[in-house]
């Protein structure tokens, strides 16, 4: 048994072998030049099967090491089915079938696929790959709401269709160098002992205690005191508790946290009725959505204000005097003012180390996203190493203060709304010209 396993790990697979296996339904992922077949493990993956599907045919070394412990990494050897050779450009990624809008057909036959939805990436990639035979296109030109049904059409996927067009590739050599540097950076953080929890409950014992104390103190003082000192102390505790919140978003096609249609759109990609690989449906840009998105810059503020004052206003109304209400309002907001919102990309919020415990480390999102398993109590020290890495490799390290961060959020929403308004104006003009003609 041991020799068979060793032979499998030594087997050299070329690109065509891997592409052919993927088209037959194997979920092959590259990890440190080893080919891992995640097919049998995918249904039991703690991070979900979708996370694996998006890395089929790709080198996931950085992501795998970022999210898994050393014992887990060692257990992956049992799923190794071969290895690949990489040059100074690293492994050139294939396109995962899930990114083409394809899933395994329910009939279970190898090589049979079914349409899941019209993925934007899939349409752009397959346009060139199958231009000689349009009838074989696995993706329809128009998004489809229904994915399978009792007897979905059988789609045949060819290895050549997994090859992205040249225009879709970034500078692979540069990216590979950055990947190697990232692994070196991770090793420096490991050597510094920053992955080790600094206290009880993986370092979060003091955090949990602080949250409970802040929330409990705010409620106790609010309901059991009537004087200025008690109520202003309640407001301060409430503001500090609010400060523990964070909001982070990522990719419009695959991240459930940012699919706000019909109320918001943070990217023009939504204008094409985006298919969500998470929710398994089309995020339709219908007439209702077009109206809301064209004004969502204002909706974002007005709806947020309305919800906020619905519950917060009721707290203020129960205070005995208007002077105390104003005081409670000001104090709670001053203590919560460092709260930050992040949109479209990762960025840090500048904060003094002396009050960083208020954020719980969530103001250092860049380092947190690079090393999600890193205890947030060690993020400050690790962020210094990350900044050095970004400087060495000419990567922009985004960090803003509170005002700049919120201005960035509002400007992003306003830009998208303006783009939709511009498209509407162009469409209206074309309609008028056709009517006149």
Quote the tokens at residue 126: 């397959």
Does the pLDDT value for residue 147 go beyond 50? Answer: no
Tell me which residue has tokens 């706000």: 260
DSSP-derived 3-state class of residue 150? coil
- Reported confidence tier of residue 174, pLDDT bands at 50, 70, 90: confident
Distance of CA 155 to the CA centre of its chain: 29
| H runs (alpha helix) in 32-130 | 49-53, 61-67, 70-75, 120-129
The winner for highest mean pLDDT among 275-284, 285-294, 362-371 is: 362-371
pLDDT digits (tens, 9 = 90+) for 389-408: 888 877 878 777 767 766 77
Q: pLDDT value at position 133?
A: 36
Q: Where are the domains of the chain?
A: 2-94, 97-168, 183-414
Cβ–Cβ < 8 Å for 374, 195? yes
Q: pLDDT value at position 267?
A: 57
DSSP-derived 3-state class of residue 238? helix
**Region 339-363: what's the mean pLDDT?**
61
> How many percent of the chain have pLDDT more than 90?
17
Cβ–Cβ < 8 Å for 293, 421? no
Q: Considering only the top CATH level, what class is 2-94? A: alpha beta
pTM value? 0.59
Tell me which residue has tokens 């010209």: 433
> 197: Cβ–Cβ under 8 A, 6 or more apart, which residues?
203, 375
Q: pLDDT value at position 430?
A: 77
CB count in 10 Å sphere of residue 332: 24
Overall residue count recorded for the chain in this entry: 437
Distance of CA 255 to the CA centre of its chain: 5
Low-confidence winner among 81-95, 138-152, 160-174, 354-368 (lowest mean pLDDT): 138-152
Q: pLDDT value at position 255?
A: 45
pLDDT, greater one: 385 or 404:
385
Give the strand pairing for 155-156 and 399-400. unpaired
pLDDT digits (tens, 9 = 90+) for 116-140: 755 544 444 444 443 333 333 333 3
CA angle 381, 66, 274 (to 5 degrees): 115
pLDDT, greater one: 279 or 370:
370
Give the bridge partners for 281, in sequence order: 276
């Amino acid at each position: 048994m041991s020799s068979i396993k060793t032979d499998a790990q030594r087997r050299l697979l070329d690109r065509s072998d891997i592409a052919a296996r993927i088209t037959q339904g194997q979920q092959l992922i590259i990890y440190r030049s080893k080919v891992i077949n995640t097919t049998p493990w995918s249904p039991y993956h703690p991070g979900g099967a979708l996370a694996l599907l998006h890395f089929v045919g790709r080198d996931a070394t950085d992501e795998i090491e970022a999210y898994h412990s050393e014992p887990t990494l060692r257990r992956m050897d049992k799923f190794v089915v071969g290895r690949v050779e990489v040059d100074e450009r690293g492994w050139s990624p294939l396109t995962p079938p899930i990114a083409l809008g394809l899933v395994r057909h329910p009939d279970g036959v190898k090589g049979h696929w079914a349409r899941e939805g019209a993925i934007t990436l899939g349409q752009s990639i397959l346009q060139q790959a199958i231009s000689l035979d349009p009838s074989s296109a696995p993706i329809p030109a128009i998004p489809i709401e229904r994915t399978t049904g009792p007897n979905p059409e059988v789609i045949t996927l060819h290895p050549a269709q997994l090859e992205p067009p040249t225009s879709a590739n970034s500078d692979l050599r540069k990216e590979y160098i950055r990947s190697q540097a990232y692994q070196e950076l991770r090793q420096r953080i490991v050597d510094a002992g920053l992955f080790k929890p600094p206290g009880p409950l993986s370092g979060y014992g003091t955090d949990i205690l602080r949250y409970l104390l802040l929330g409990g103190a705010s409620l106790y003082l609010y309901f059991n005191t009537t004087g200025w000192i008690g109520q202003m102390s309640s407001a301060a505790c409430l503001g500090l508790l609010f400060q523990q919140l964070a909001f982070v978003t990522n990719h419009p096609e695959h991240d459930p946290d940012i699919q706000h249609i019909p109320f918001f759109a943070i990217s023009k990609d939504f204008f094409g009725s985006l298919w969500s690989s998470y929710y398994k449906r089309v995020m339709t840009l219908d007439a209702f959505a077009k109206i809301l998105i064209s004004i969502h810059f204002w909706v974002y503020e007005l709806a947020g204000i309305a919800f906020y004052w619905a519950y917060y206003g009721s707290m203020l109304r129960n205070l005995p005097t208007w002077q105390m209400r104003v005081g409670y309002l000001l104090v709670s907001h001053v203590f919560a003012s460092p709260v930050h919102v992040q949109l479209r990309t990762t960025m840090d919020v500048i904060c003094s180390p002396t009050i960083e415990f208020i954020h719980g480390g969530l103001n250092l999102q860049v380092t947190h996203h690079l090393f999600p398993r890193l205890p947030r109590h060690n993020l400050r020290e690790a962020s210094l190493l990350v900044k050095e890495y970004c400087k060495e490799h000419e990567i922009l390290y985004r960090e803003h203060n509170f005002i700049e961060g919120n201005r960035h959020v509002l400007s992003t929403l306003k830009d998208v709304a303006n783009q939709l308004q511009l498209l509407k104006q162009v469409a209206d003009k074309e309609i008028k010209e056709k009517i006149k003609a």
